[in-house]
Structure 1
């Protein structure tokens, strides 16, 4: 009995409308002291408020289970993307109610204002949708769903608590991966900024002999088949398949730098996942190597159906470390694991020219045996500072330093090009598009 009474008081809340009514009663009592002609009006008003409160209690507590709520969430969340979640709510009251909902989202989001308000008719059910954008991989714990119900009188609220604690893992951006996957399947990669590459020459992969249609290259006409069928026939070629594409991710402290809530490592992981998926769709073989002061995970290139899930599970657990990259260990691993000429996409971050020059001897050795593509990041904050006009001496100093760092980035691109190493200097938000674009360009020009 004591427990039921405790729960009753614990889930009972007074609303502002009740306090306003009580304040009005107090004002009437004060005026009644100075104006005796008011008579019993103050007492009558007070007891009316009391009766309304009792009536409100009966309306809310007459139904034992007046509402039902349930969180609708995916099995996992996508890092850096807007993930859609929902709350299903159903009313069992025979009258209209006003509802306020609190969903106890994980502490990683640092949000204390997740409050949804709605009105529900008798026996109505609704679904409330909202978006969450995680910026860190790992496990996110959701708590209770708390529903506050008000009757049409609106004097008090009854709280319902629905225990739905669950832990959702946040994986690298698989939503972004699916978007690029659909684009690649439908050949609509140009719609998202990936330019169309003019093909040079023909692939060695013969597909079939087909009828000539307007636009086919005259050089592919098969004259023997044309003579047999009395119609122009052409040879059809496809991109070479089963080429090896390795994503190498630097996990050193330079990749810890944040940008729009995500670290550079997270951007590299998301781009690696998308690139691996596109490579598998193009029937190439995708592999992965992670490195910091020592070599981390090594997944040999493969085109099996389970390869993408294997890469996803590995990338889910990767974290930045606090020592510099051991390039000698990386070079040894590349020579040991990658047996044939492959495309090696190295995701790193260089903030100064000497930092690149320390690693350059090993990059040159890797480039002797494989097609090496170095992907590193623009410092967008410094770029913004360099473009702002200086207003004082301090501003001139800051602008000069920012321009110097931006110029160093351009020198890095030239330094790599002078040694025959391709590179991409990109902002974090354009990393995926630029990387996939370059992969398609390399494949179209048959450089692997």
Structure 2
């Protein structure tokens, strides 16, 4: 009995309409002292208000489970993307109700205004959709769904609690990966900035001899086959397949820097995921190595269907470390794991020439055996500072320092090129597009 009474009081809430009505009654009682002719009007008003409150309670509490709510959520969320969730709500009352809904979303979002209002007729149901954009990988805990129902009288509201506590994992941006995949299948990659690159020369992988059709390159005509058949015949070549593409991700403190809510490591992980998927679609082999002060995950290059799931599961758990990158361990691992010449895409960050000089000897050794592509980040905030107008001595000083750091990034690109090392200097937002463009360019030039 005590539990029933406790549940009754804890789920009963007074509305603003009730407080307004009580205030009106109080005013009437005060006025009755100065205007006796009001008579029993205040008493009647208060009596009517009490009857309405009791009627409201009966309407809301006579049914046991008149409201039903359920959260619709995917099995996992995609980091840095807009993820759509929904709340299904159903009214089983015999009258229309005004509904207020609170969804207890994970604390990582730091939102206290997830409040939805709607109106439901008898027997009506709705699906209320909303968007969440996580900026960190990991586990996100959702809590209860709390529904506040008001009858047409609207003096009180009854709360319904639906236990939908669940933990959803936030994976690297698989939605972005699928978007690139769909556009690649439909040959629409150019719509998102992927360039169409003209293939230079022919691949060394011969496929077949076929009849000449208008538009074929005259240089591919097979004169011996033409003589035998009596018709023009051409050699048909296909793209080289089964080339190895390794994404090497630096997890050291250099990748902790945040941009637009995401760390540089998250940008590198999202780009690696998309690049690996594109490489598999091109029938190349994709592999992964993570490194900080020690070697993290190592996934040998493969092109089987399960490879992307392996890469996704590994990248889901990776976090930044707070020590320097152990380049000696990285070089030893690459020499031990990668047995043939491959494209090694090294995602890292350099803020000064000194940072590059410490790693350059190992980068040159890796570049002797593989095609090394170093990907690092342009500091967009410093770029904005360098482009701002300086109005005083302090602003001139800040602008000069910002321009120096921006210039150092360009010097790093030239220094790497001097030693035959490919590089990409990209803003975090354009990292994925720039990396895919360079991969397709290197493949078109048959450098891998």
Q: TM-score, normalised by structure 1?
A: 0.97
Q: Does 1:300 align with 2:293?
A: no
Aligned equivalent of 1:53: 53
Aligned equivalent of 1:321: 321
Per-residue deviation, residues 314-342 of structure 1 (Å, max 9, x unmatched): 11111111111111111111111111000
Q: Does 1:205 align with 2:196?
A: no
After TM superposition, give the deviation of residue 202 of structure 1 in Å: 0.8
Distance of aligned partners of 1:56 and 1:441 in 2 relative to their CA distance in 1, 3 Å threshold: same
**In 2: Cα distance, 1:196 partner to 1:430 partner:** 17
**In 1: Cα distance, 2:194 partner to 2:83 partner:** 25
Aligned equivalent of 2:357: 357
Question: What is the DSSP-based 3-state SS (H/G/I as helix, E as strand, rest coil) of the residue aligned with 2:85?
Answer: strand
After TM superposition, give the deviation of residue 14 of structure 1 in Å: 0.5
Aligned equivalent of 1:444: 444
Q: Does 1:92 align with 2:104?
A: no
Distance of aligned partners of 1:84 and 1:230 in 2 relative to their CA distance in 1, 3 Å threshold: farther
Distance of aligned partners of 1:211 and 1:27 in 2 relative to their CA distance in 1, 3 Å threshold: farther
Per-residue deviation, residues 75-127 of structure 1 (Å, max 9, x unmatched): 11111111111111111011111101100001111111100111111101111
Instruction: Trace 1:3-152 onto structure 2 (pairs within 5 A).
Output: 3-152=3-152
**In 2: Cα distance, 1:225 partner to 1:68 partner:** 75
Distance of aligned partners of 1:238 and 1:46 in 2 relative to their CA distance in 1, 3 Å threshold: same
Aligned equivalent of 2:179: 179
Question: What is the DSSP-based 3-state SS (H/G/I as helix, E as strand, rest coil) of the residue aligned with 2:194?
Answer: coil
After TM superposition, give the deviation of residue 186 of structure 1 in Å: 2.0
Question: What is the DSSP-based 3-state SS (H/G/I as helix, E as strand, rest coil) of the residue aligned with 2:153?
Answer: coil
Instruction: Trace 1:385-424 onto structure 2 (pairs within 5 A).
Output: 385-424=385-424
After TM superposition, give the deviation of residue 222 of structure 1 in Å: 4.1
After TM superposition, give the deviation of residue 359 of structure 1 in Å: 0.6
After TM superposition, give the deviation of residue 209 of structure 1 in Å: 4.2
**In 1: Cα distance, 2:112 partner to 2:344 partner:** 44
After TM superposition, give the deviation of residue 36 of structure 1 in Å: 0.5
**In 2: Cα distance, 1:113 partner to 1:194 partner:** 39
**In 1: Cα distance, 2:215 partner to 2:176 partner:** 34
**In 2: Cα distance, 1:116 partner to 1:179 partner:** 30
After TM superposition, give the deviation of residue 185 of structure 1 in Å: 1.8
Distance of aligned partners of 1:116 and 1:231 in 2 relative to their CA distance in 1, 3 Å threshold: farther
Question: What is the DSSP-based 3-state SS (H/G/I as helix, E as strand, rest coil) of the residue aligned with 1:345?
Answer: strand
**In 2: Cα distance, 1:84 partner to 1:77 partner:** 9
Distance of aligned partners of 1:5 and 1:197 in 2 relative to their CA distance in 1, 3 Å threshold: same
**In 2: Cα distance, 1:345 partner to 1:334 partner:** 12
After TM superposition, give the deviation of residue 199 of structure 1 in Å: 0.8
After TM superposition, give the deviation of residue 270 of structure 1 in Å: 0.8
After TM superposition, give the deviation of residue 444 of structure 1 in Å: 0.9
Q: CA RMSD in A?
A: 1.4
**In 1: Cα distance, 2:237 partner to 2:123 partner:** 63
Question: What is the DSSP-based 3-state SS (H/G/I as helix, E as strand, rest coil) of the residue aligned with 1:355?
Answer: helix
**In 1: Cα distance, 2:436 partner to 2:67 partner:** 49
Per-residue deviation, residues 161-217 of structure 1 (Å, max 9, x unmatched): 000110111111111111111122222211110111111001122334445454332
After TM superposition, give the deviation of residue 226 of structure 1 in Å: 5.5
After TM superposition, give the deviation of residue 223 of structure 1 in Å: 4.7
Q: Give structure 1 stretches of 5+ with no counterpart.
A: none
Aligned equivalent of 1:219: 219
Aligned equivalent of 2:425: 425
Which is further off, 271-280 or 213-222? Answer: 213-222
Distance of aligned partners of 1:34 and 1:407 in 2 relative to their CA distance in 1, 3 Å threshold: same
**In 1: Cα distance, 2:402 partner to 2:33 partner:** 74
**In 2: Cα distance, 1:263 partner to 1:30 partner:** 63
Question: What is the DSSP-based 3-state SS (H/G/I as helix, E as strand, rest coil) of the residue aligned with 1:28?
Answer: helix
Distance of aligned partners of 1:435 and 1:48 in 2 relative to their CA distance in 1, 3 Å threshold: same
**In 1: Cα distance, 2:142 partner to 2:286 partner:** 35
Question: What is the DSSP-based 3-state SS (H/G/I as helix, E as strand, rest coil) of the residue aligned with 1:384?
Answer: helix
Distance of aligned partners of 1:222 and 1:63 in 2 relative to their CA distance in 1, 3 Å threshold: farther
**In 1: Cα distance, 2:207 partner to 2:311 partner:** 30
After TM superposition, give the deviation of residue 225 of structure 1 in Å: 5.5
**In 1: Cα distance, 2:247 partner to 2:422 partner:** 15
